[in-house]
Amino acid sequence: MLLPLTSAQKKPPPAEPPYVLMTADSVGGVWTYALDLARELAGQGTRVTLAVLGPSPHPDQVAAAAAVDGLELIDTGLALDWTAPDEAAVRRTAEALGDLAARLGPDVVHLNSPALAADAGFTMPVVGVCHSCMASWWVAVRGGEMPEDFRWRTELLRRGYQACDVLVAPSAAFADATAALYGVAPPVVVRNGRYARKAGPRRAAMGRERFVFTAGRLWDSGKNVELLDAAAKLLDVPVFAAGPLESPTGHRVGLTHAKALGRLDGASVAGWMARAPVFASLPLYEPFGLTVLEAAQAGCALVLSDIASFRELWDGTAIFADPGDARALAATLRRLLDDPLEARRLGTAARRRAARYDMDRLTAGMLDVYWSVTHPVRSEVIA
């Protein structure tokens, strides 16, 4: 049952920090979101257990989690809802997660995979965070009637949303899309945040080079890396793309003109962003975009898809491009690379805007949400 946040719940008085059981996966941005949030929560005295679903974390991810004092990491080996082979596998994951919660006894369960809420049998409050979903992805990327594989997952997610006590979304655009698609009240908007990495003095002194950079789950058709690959053919400068080309389910894309760098750790991505004058991201679908935020924090000029979430977050600080026009995109990138002063101006504007999306705001917002479900407002009956 979804509970609205009231004004009385948004400013919690000092209290014992909650114990949070949080789910994550190692595949994409959810890992970054969950680990950063867990680090901040742990730093404020909140006990956090991070239960990883799907593929095991990479060694650098395990090392990053181990560096967080007080964080407990559990590699469950359970199926991830959006890659599971069938509905029964998702239900088994939900039931096992419910058993884990019963054994650990957290104050609140934070599901970054809200589809698991319906069948887990949680006895404690549940917060579901809407990072993305197959139905909204399909509307934005493919259109038309969804295939059966998408339909049963969407129905499971609908049930999961309804079973959560509160839903959270990282942007108003995605909150509205979620409400429209699933018939739920618009989720509470708590925008994502990231730690800003600072380039060392030597790197800062070297300045920007002349290339275009992008990063993300390149195999995801919603990321639309094919458009940037086509634009790269029309440019006389290199376009570098960091990220996996093959999905956990075996789907693979190839790049012909852009230069694939493969999966890089966070420090390596930050190094590329410190050198790049321009960061390009042209997805057809993106509820928030953590990598765009990282690029903005690094002072890259942003060239982004003209989609609702990016307009909401970056309007006035980025150049927006048609995600279906490779020739126009190439012209925009060339013009920006030929004008370093404009690229620097846009990079400065992006860095200033990025300051709105920091870890302090994300952490405070989520603590308010946790408080709202662990300390529900009770109505007093006056005789």
Q: How far is CA 10 from the centre of its chain?
A: 23
Q: How far is CA 276 from the centre of its chain?
A: 22
Angle between helices 266-275 and 290-297 (to 10 degrees): 50
pLDDT band at 16; cut points 50, 70, 90? confident
pLDDT at 40: 96
Render 128-197 in DSSP notation, one character per residue.
Answer: EE----HHHHHHHHT-SSPPHHHHHHHHHHHHHHHH-SEEEESSHHHHHHHHHHHT-PPPEE-----PPP
User: Is the pLDDT confidence value at 201 over 60?
Assistant: no
Mean pLDDT of 316-334: 98
DSSP state of 222: G
Percent of the chain with pLDDT over 70: 92
pLDDT at 27: 85
Q: Which amino acid is at 43?
A: G
Q: Which amino acid is at 222?
A: G
- Mapping DSSP to helix (H, G, I), strand (E, B) and coil, where does residue 335 land? helix
pTM metric for this prediction:
0.90
The sheet with strand 301-305 has its strands ordered as: 259-262, 239-242, 212-215, 278-281, 301-305, 319-321
Least confident of 56-60, 179-183, 200-204, 297-301: 200-204
User: Is the pLDDT confidence value at 381 over 80?
Assistant: no
Task: Give, for 310, the enclosing helix (H) or strand (E).
Answer: helix 308-314
pLDDT band at 206; cut points 50, 70, 90? low
